[in-house]
Chain A
Amino acid sequence: MRRLLIAALGAVLLAACGTDPPPATSSSSPTTSSASQAAPTIPEGVYRTHALTWNDLVAAIKAAGYSTNDAASVRPIFEFHKTVVFTIKLQGDQWTEFESDDGGPDQVGDLGTYTVTSDVLAMTGDGGKGHQRLKWTLDGIALSLETLPGDPQGDAAAPVAIFTSGPFYREG
């Protein structure tokens, strides 16, 4: 049985939700490939990153305001040696995040439920524990996620690395 990263992320996500997150402060609007007049949303499906190195993850962690030490502290959570591919599956109101270490099979890292507003992807961890709010933009098939300015980050460097090192490219 693989290590349950679900627990890991559940814990760090929980650390990030000690206080209710403030409303999104970003004023930028996402773009979509759809010409529809409906509110922009993220189409259901499977979104996958390119192969990422540890340096890529560190860059994302630091871009979110964390220190090099913060990044180092979450390195043991990740099991890849050279590269990792993150994948997000969105279906119904549920999401799952997968990891493929060093070209190996995809394995579930975390999962839960989500909602999408015009520019915010709000993800809740398994059983309602832990929350992650990310600004999203969709450019063609490329889904980019960013931390929201002013949102409490707590010890959430690991999910920051997972979700913001992208972009994620839609499959199919």
Chain B
Amino acid sequence: MLLAAACTIAAPSRASFRPRLAWEPCPSDVEIQFLSRHRCGWLTVLQDRSKPKGKTIRLLVVETWPVGVAPLPGRGFGFGTNLGDGYSHGSAPAGATRLRRINVALQLRGTGHSQPSLACPEANAFDGREAGRLSGDASLREDFLSAVKACRERLVREGVDPARYDLESVARDTEDLRVALEVDRWAYLNSYGTSSRYLFEYLRAFPGRAQAAYLDSPQFPHVDEVTTGVKATRHALDQLFTACAADKDCAEAYPDLATRWARAIHRLKRQPLKGTATLDAAKLLRASRFALGGDGPEQAGLDLTLLPATIAAAAKGRISGPLAAALEDTPLYCAGYRPLCVGVGDRGFSLGAYLTVLCRDQAPFIDRAALSTAVGNDPAFRELVDDHPYLAACKVWGVAPANPVVARPVHTEVPLLLLIGQFDSYSSAREARQVAATLPRAWVVQVPGQTHNALGFSDCPIGIRNAWFRDPISPPQNTNCLDKLRVSFSTAPEQGGKP
């Protein structure tokens, strides 16, 4: 384990730079999110730790106290949301209260308020232009890649080294923060969605620095997000078809949904639909993945409950209203590639931070044979992968591959609770179980009826997490409440064209 850590993190420099943490008033858009005790600070670290006299960067730290109860000793630390996504601190007091710990959030380098930001407004300018185009539209792709190139060039002119915004650097930031806060060990770590890649790198690089960790909808370092995405989406679709067949109303309204799906894909492959938005096979797959990986049942109008009706409508040559809304309203190349498609400003998306982790820590280590096997002969999945805009952007983002150790499985003694929704198209319960089987203290809780964000929709998994946290070296107990969770599909005619 120590050898692995040494492979990942370069030896400390002998230079005298020391990270600094200073408490200051919160930015106004952070302050407005709190009613209870909190404070903000800035952690100053080196952009490139191999250059002790080089550029420094500032990372926003937000501490949140429990409400109505005295905090127990120790602090918890969260790695935030999906890669590149911004921050909402709105549920931090609730989380701190439930676990009775001061919760520490770090707006990771390149994201949110942290300075510099690796957001790319150059690319945001193309939001909304995808709705009327077919998948893989070459002109739009060229515009996007030009914007990414322009973003990189601007950042480099400003002194940014995009490669230094990778998993290794974030893990080191986290450790610098722990030292600055004089925390012996984190009482817990947590991650949401694809930010699990940061958490696993921290566990790899700094073993023994946490007492426990819970990961909501995680991905794992040894499988890239593209391959996981194909497998998870296929599994989620299968779960959807099975769940609809088992639901009396859904089965009656949309019998044999799997056949309808195949019919829709076949039909759209031959003849895309055109309305206020254009729908082809790959876009139906992307929109379905968006709904299955949805972070909320109402994001952009399309959610899991509406998906059977949406698929049935597409099979009949119609674009449902919620599907059209999803196609029209989500940012460029978001739906079907990224789990969350909302938020602006510090709560918006940092394309540069996302691209560095994708292009440096994942893409070089994609197992092409495994990915090809996962895709199979499915034309929609093939198009989804072949036209992947972010993998294409790696060519212009221009960051060298990381040390391959970042893409290897992490062995840790730290107790882990892995929570995954039944329909999650971004996180694979099968991969989670395989990982848990190799670790001495890791457990998987699959949450029925849920998509991405397994902890976000029900008190049941939250209660399981809270109880486990009191004794994290034992498996989660009293999980019976999971049996009552299920999805209710909408069969209302106005929601997508009841046949």
Contacts and interface: CB of A to CB of B under 8 A. Distances in A.
Contact of B91 (A1, A76, A111, A127): A1
A125 to B, nearest CB: 10
Contact of B342 (A12, A87, A109, A126): A126
Nearest to A91: B32
Nearest to A158: B298
A107 B93 CA distance: 7
Nearest to A109: B90
Which among A12, A105, A106, A126 has the highest number of chain B CB atoms within 10 Å? A105
Interface stretch (B160-168, B357-365, B452-460): B452-460
A77 interface: yes
A6 B88 contact: yes
A126 B32 contact: no
B467 to A, nearest CB: 17
B372 interface: no
Given A7-B342, A107-B90, A108-B88, A94 B298 contact: no
Nearest to B456: A3
Contact of A96 (B32, B68, B94): B32
A98 B295 contact: no
A105 B459 CA distance: 13
Which among A11, A89, A107, A109 has the highest number of chain B CB atoms within 10 Å? A11
Contacts of A86: none
A7 B453 CA distance: 13
Contact of A107 (B28, B91, B299): B91
B217 to A, nearest CB: 9
Q: How large is the interface on A (under 10, 10 to 19, 20 to 34, 35 or more residues)?
A: 35 or more
Contacts of A76: 297
Interface in B188-210: 192
B472 interface: no
Which among A4, A10, A76, A91 has the highest number of chain B CB atoms within 10 Å? A4
A3 B88 CA distance: 11
A6 to B, nearest CB: 7
Given A1-B192, A14-B329, A104-B94, A94 B28 contact: yes
A148 B21 CA distance: 48
A109 B342 CA distance: 14
B36 interface: yes
Interface in A3-59: 3-8, 10-12, 14-15, 46
A110 to B, nearest CB: 9
A95 interface: yes
B345 interface: yes
A11 B299 contact: yes
Interface string A67-87: 000000000110100000001
B91 A8 contact: no
Contact of B298 (A11, A98, A106, A109): A11
Contact of A4 (B88, B97, B216): B88
B91 A89 contact: no
Contact of B32 (A5, A15, A95): A95
Interface in B302-361: 325, 329, 340, 342-345, 347-348
B35 interface: yes
A4 B295 contact: yes
A11 B403 CA distance: 42
A104 B68 CA distance: 10
B396 to A, nearest CB: 26
Nearest to A99: B90
B151 to A, nearest CB: 19
Interface in B29-64: 29, 31-33, 35-36
B28 A92 contact: yes
Contacts of B244: none
Contacts of A5: 296
Given A1-B216, A108-B90, A12 B32 contact: no
Contacts of B140: none
A15 B325 CA distance: 10
B81 interface: yes
A105 B35 CA distance: 10
B25 to A, nearest CB: 12
Interface in B403-457: 453, 455-457
Given A1-B91, A1-B455, A11-B300, A127 B345 contact: yes
A107 B29 contact: no
B32 A4 contact: no
Given A95-B32, A96-B32, A126-B347, A10 B342 contact: yes
A98 B67 CA distance: 14
Interface in B243-297: 295-297
Contacts of A46: 35
Ranked nearest first, the 10 interchain pairs of A and B with the lowest CB-CB distance are A108-B90, A127-B344, A2-B91, A8-B298, A3-B456, A105-B94, A7-B299, A7-B296, A1-B192, A94-B32
Interface of A: 1-8, 10-12, 14-15, 46, 76-77, 79, 87, 89, 91-92, 94-96, 98, 104-109, 111, 126-128
6 contacts: A1-B453, A1-B455, A3-B457, A94-B29, A105-B67, A105-B94
Interface of B: 28-29, 31-33, 35-36, 67-68, 81, 88-91, 93-94, 97, 192, 216, 295-301, 325, 329, 340, 342-345, 347-348, 453, 455-457
Given A4-B88, A106-B35, 18 more contacts: A1-B81, A1-B91, A4-B295, A5-B296, A6-B342, A7-B296, A7-B299, A7-B300, A8-B296, A8-B297, A10-B342, A96-B90, A104-B94, A105-B36, A105-B68, A106-B36, A108-B90, A127-B345
